[in-house]
Structure 1
């Protein structure tokens, strides 16, 4: 497979940087040109990625809603690993 054969990455309009309680997150919601399923990826300020893609979301709005539900149910700590939580006192 050459670079010309690579599928295009399509980013949702929901893709954005957010600050929640002083914590910065880059939220990306995207799919490829060959797969209709949307993927939710959240990167924290340490560069740690949390990816939710199994199963993929049927719509980008559903992926954003999943991000909001994770925040509501687990809080921001859901997007940090144990070492980062200890460092932040979460």
Structure 2
């Protein structure tokens, strides 16, 4: 049995809620403490999670990707 501590999850200060067309999306940007790349997850109002396959070198790049997706695909891309 391993006694090594579980890696800590680092939450980006750029994580936020975005409101578009009356819908609220929860944007979570995080990484494990021993990793350098950031994970991007968007959760809609019904709890459906959309996690990007790509990882991001910076948390700002992850946030930019959300805005780009919203601008290109619209809010409906994240709704059920």
The normalised TM-score by structure 1 is 0.80
**Larger RCO, structures 1/2 (Cα 8 Å, 6+ apart):** 2
Structure with the largest fraction of strand: 1
Task: State the aligned residue count.
Answer: 79
Q: Render the CA deviation track for 1:45-76: whole Å, top value 9, x for unaligned.
A: 01000001x33100000000000110011011
The normalised TM-score by structure 2 is 0.89
**Which structure 1 residue ranges, 5 or more long, are not aligned?**
85-90
**Which structure 2 residue ranges, 5 or more long, are not aligned?**
none
Structure with the largest fraction of helix: 1
Matched residues in 2 for 1:21 and 1:55: separation? 26
**CA drift at 1:13:** 1.2
What are the equivalent positions in structure 2 for 1:1-90 lying under 5 Å apart? 1=2, 5-52=5-52, 54-80=53-79, 84=80
